[in-house]
């Protein structure tokens, strides 16, 4: 199923909208002013209220059943329905929201009961997250960070055989706009023999793609690589906030712990796999001499269409910029094509040992830096581990993030002959440590 790219919506703000034209229709959970959370769909500057649409009989048959499940206060049950239900609901939404729809006058009459201004609503996490796993599939980030600590051997031998990941903390994943408290923890000052306790001094961001799991698997039963894409419900933006000084002291031998678990921010809209179909491309060829993935990680169809071409952007808005009414400044521009492993490979690897994945589980891709400094997705890379300051346009300098700094992630899909779609924003502002 594909949406006609020249189809217009009767909702005027959707036509040419930078993020939410008719061709996108991402799902989320929102609260209208003074009302309870429910499922909705972003269209232009509005949210199409699925609860109201169901109550007023706008959907029929299988589409009504899918919309009813998606209208609740979390999308877990909808994710569990799988791709057929997603596509059925998407087809019905495209019909209802297209210009000239037979129900247009009725929907226009419903007005604010059906269409809620996004600016007036509160967004929530789209699903109750049972588990969160953060991967490390951005190869340029892995190489850049590796060079800081192991100049002669930046990539460890397993990197090109295994999609590396660690289990994160689901309880501290928060939606865009939630303020982030600078964490306290143990750090080892340079030259010291014993650690000290106090606020993190090397606060960082990480530019990542978030992946929402749809249908899961039974414990003990792996998801094969050729079926893995069918278990992906959709995508979001993800900022894996990182306390680099805490991380440096704690990560050996078991990896990140308190340096990551204090907060992870996600954009609230789930851009479905179907909306991203026009932006699927071949997985970039591995460099000469790199090993072929093991058979359980290799599928020819996934190699031909398993990568996504999504432009990723990081902006920094400092407290001074806000005081002086200056806009946020872009500090990095990257792309999901910097993923060494596909999302399907991540799913297949995560489940190959029999691990049970469940609807609403969240994956992070790992930092998706590009090859050049203007595409580095963390300050750790942009400043060479804090050695060189990042100089902003207003003269401010940053080695790591300061209190009051706000990080904004954005994403955009573009392709000739297709409407461009976006993800909305992933925002978080840093508050001082307690």
Does 388 appear as a known binding residue?
Answer: no
Residues forming beta bridges with residue 426, ordered by sequence position: 409
Q: Is 389 helix (H, G, I), strand (E, B) or coil?
A: coil
Does 247 appear as a known binding residue?
Answer: yes
**Gyration radius of the chain's alpha carbons:** 22
Q: What is the pLDDT of residues 62-120, one digit of tens each?
A: 999 999 999 999 999 999 999 999 999 999 999 999 999 999 999 999 999 999 999 99
Which helix or strand (DSSP H or E) is residue 319 part of? helix 319-323
User: Which pLDDT score is estimated for 400?
Assistant: 98
Q: Is the pLDDT of residue 295 over 60?
A: yes
**Is 141 labeled as catalytic in the residue annotation?**
yes
What's the number of CA atoms in the CB half-sphere (13 Å) around residue 209? 30
Residue from 17, 109, 140, 141 carrying the catalytic annotation: 141
Does 136 appear as a known binding residue?
Answer: yes
DSSP code per residue over 220-278: T-PPPGGGGGGGEEEEEEEE--EEHHHHHHH-TTT--STTTTT-EEE-S-BEETTTTGG
Average pLDDT, rounded, for the chain: 96
Distance CA 380, CA 329 (A): 18
Q: What is the pLDDT of residues 320-334, one digit of tens each?
A: 999 999 999 999 999
Distance CA 275, CA 21 (A): 11
Does 251 appear as a known binding residue?
Answer: yes
Q: What is the pLDDT of residues 40-50, one digit of tens each?
A: 999 999 999 99
Q: Is the pLDDT of residue 3 over 80?
A: no
Q: Does residue 23 contact residue 3 with C-beta atoms inside 8 Å? A: yes
Phi, psi of 333 (to 5 degrees): -140, 115
Q: Six-digit token pair at 100? A: 């000239």
> Confidence band (pLDDT; 50, 70, 90) for 1?
very low
- Ordered by where they begin, the domains of the chain are 12-124 (2.30.30.230), 132-431 (3.90.850.10)
Does 260 appear as a known binding residue?
Answer: yes
Angle at 38 between CA 230 and CA 262, to 5 degrees: 75
User: Which pLDDT score is estimated for 2?
Assistant: 44
pTM listed for this prediction:
0.97
């Amino acid at each position: 199923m594909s949406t006609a790219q020249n189809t217009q919506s009767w909702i005027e703000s959707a036509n040419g909208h930078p993020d939410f034209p008719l061709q996108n229709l991402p799902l989320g959970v929102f609260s209208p002013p003074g009302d309870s959370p429910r499922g909705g769909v972003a269209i232009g500057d509005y949210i199409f209220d699925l609860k109201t649409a169901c109550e007023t009989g706008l959907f029929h048959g299988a589409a009504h059943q899918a919309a009813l499940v998606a209208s609740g206060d979390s999308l877990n049950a909808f994710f569990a329905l799988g791709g057929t239900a997603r596509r059925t609901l998407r087809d019905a939404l495209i019909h209802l929201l297209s210009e000239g729809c037979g129900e247009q006058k009725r929907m226009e009459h419903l007005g604010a009961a059906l269409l809620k201004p996004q600016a007036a609503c509160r967004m929530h996490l789209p699903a109750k997250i049972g588990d969160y796993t953060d991967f490390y599939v951005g190869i340029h980030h892995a190489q850049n960070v590796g060079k800081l600590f192991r100049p002669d051997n930046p990539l460890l031998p397993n990197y090109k055989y295994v999609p590396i990941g660690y289990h994160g903390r689901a309880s501290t994943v928060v939606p865009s706009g939630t303020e982030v408290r600078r964490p306290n923890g143990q750090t080892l000052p340079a030259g010291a023999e014993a650690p000290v306790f106090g606020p993190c001094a090397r606060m960082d961001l990480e530019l990542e793609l978030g992946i929402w799991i749809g249908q899961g698997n039974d414990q003990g039963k792996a998801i094969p690589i050729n079926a893995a894409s069918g278990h992906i419900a959709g995508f979001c933006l993800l900022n894996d906030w990182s306390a680099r000084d805490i991380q440096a002291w704690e990560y050996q031998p078991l990896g990140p712990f308190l340096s990551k678990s204090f907060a992870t921010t996600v954009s609230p809209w789930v851009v479905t796999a179907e909306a991203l179909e026009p932006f699927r491309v071949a997985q970039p060829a591995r460099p000469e001499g790199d090993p072929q993935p093991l058979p359980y990680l290799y599928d020819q169809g996934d190699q031909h269409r398993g990568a996504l071409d999504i432009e990723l952007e990081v902006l920094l808005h400092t407290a001074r910029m806000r005081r002086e009414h200056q806009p946020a400044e872009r500090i990095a521009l990257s792309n999901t094509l910097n993923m060494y492993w596909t999302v399907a490979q991540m799913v297949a690897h995560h489940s190959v040992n029999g691990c049970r994945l469940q609807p609403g589980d969240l994956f992070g891709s790992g930092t998706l830096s590009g090859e050049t400094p203007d595409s580095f997705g963390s300050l750790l890379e942009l400043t060479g581990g804090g050695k060189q300051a990042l100089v902003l346009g207003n003269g401010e300098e940053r080695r790591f993030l300061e209190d009051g700094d706000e990080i904004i992630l954005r994403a955009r899909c573009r392709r000739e002959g297709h409407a461009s779609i976006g993800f909305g924003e992933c925002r978080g502002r840093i508050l001082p440590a307690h």
